[in-house]
Amino acid sequence: MDGTPAPTVTPTDAFRTILNRLAVGETLNEADAEQAFGLIMDGGIPDMLIAAFLMALRVRGEQRAELLGAVRAVRSRMRRVAPVPAGTIDVCGTGGDGLGTLNISTAVAFVLAALGVPVAKHGNKALSSRSGATDVLGALGVALSDDPAVIATRLNESGLVFMAAPSHHPAMRFAAPARSALGMRTLFNLIGPLCNPADVTRQLVGVFDPAWLRPVVETLQLLGSECAWAVHGTCGVGQGVDELTLAGPTAIVALQDGVLYDFVLEPGDAGLPPAPISAIAGGGPAENAAALEELLAGARGAYRDTVLLNAAAALHVAGRGNILKEGEVQPASLRALVAEAARVLDDGSALAVLKSARAGMPPVRDEFIQG
């Protein structure tokens, strides 16, 4: 040996090696993906390479192993919220469907909290839409804490917290410029909802592409989830939404009692009238916030009905009802949960949760009696 030191492999060199493999069509295994996303989130990788990496994955088609590795990388670096109440749930869409609808899952969070279901809602500003969860909460006057200890206290006292992704995933800031410049959905849209800082084991996840329904739920199962639904609504020919919808059938993959079920839910199953996706078209944060507050004050229409449908599904995921028997939807049970959700919109309980959230005080929660 001549004693010449081996050349130093920089993080950028290591990342380029992985990127070159993607360029020739290779698929990354879980460990490779965890390394690649870890390199991104440890900083120092040029934005251009990050954008190239994300687009290479998208053009070739992202795989479940790549999603799982990415999620493990993000979870290992997030600022966790603990302890949390038993049975805490998250309701979150991936975004990336490009439809710009009103904020559904944020509204559902207020309904669930009014029914006594602890909610740790994870969200972000808009990256590929006009108004993300934290955008609309800001317009509503709901202040978000960035202190995990404060958030845990609020969750245990009030049963509802909203967690801004940047506060809990500071390492994701290194990918933000590339994501924003691309302006389209990437694997990060899937990663975010699977990395709840409160480590919830019950989740209702809206997915932008039905091809990801099963991989998302399988990933959550491998990471210890107890009950999870991944949903994708059909709202036109070749068009879908990352929520349960009134515009057509919703495809669902559910994890329940360790078993995965594939099924379809129709608006009529819930006793709700169909409505085109245009009926819940949203705008900027101020416009969406006004619509959400009107909804909580009892306004009727397609927005309310869409929230009721999603809230009923979330109540099932939270263990507060059973609308699925051996993989088959039970319409009577589903309609009972829709009625429970409607009650707290009509009696002012959900609006009271919003007012308490604005004041930073615990809301007065309804005692939910499981039927």
Binding site per annotation, positions for 5-phospho-alpha-D-ribose 1-diphosphate? 93, 96-97, 101, 103-106, 121-129, 133
| Token pair for 122 | 């994870």
Contact 99, 235 (CB under 8 A): yes
Annotated binding site: 93, 96-97, 101, 103-106, 121-129, 133, 179, 242-243
In sequence order, the 6+-apart residues with CB closer than 8 A to the CB of 218 are 64, 260
Find the helix packing angle between 104-114 and 349-359, rounded to 10°: 100
What does the DSSP assignment read for 174-217?
Answer: GTHHHHHHHTS--HHHHHGGG--TT--SEEEEE-SSGGGHHHHH
Beta-bridged to residue 105, according to DSSP, are none
Asked if 45 and 11 count as a contact pair (C-beta separation under 8 A), the reply is yes
- The candidate with the shortest Cα–Cα distance to 189, out of 137, 128, 277, 270, is 128
Measuring CA to CA, which residue among 166, 134, 98, 73 is closest to residue 288?
Answer: 134
Angstrom CA distances, 96 to 64, 102, 104, 120, 208, stand at: 18, 14, 14, 22, 6
Q: Is omega for the bond preceding 85 within 30 degrees of 0, making it cis?
A: no
Q: At what angle do helices 285-296 and 104-114 cross, to 10 degrees?
A: 30
Q: Show binding-site residues for anthranilate.
A: 93, 124, 179
SS (H, E, C) 15-34: HHHHHHHHHCCCCCCHHHHH
- Residues contributing to the annotated binding site for Mg(2+): 105, 242-243
Q: What is the sign of the dihedral through the CA atoms of 41, 46, 52 and 53?
A: negative
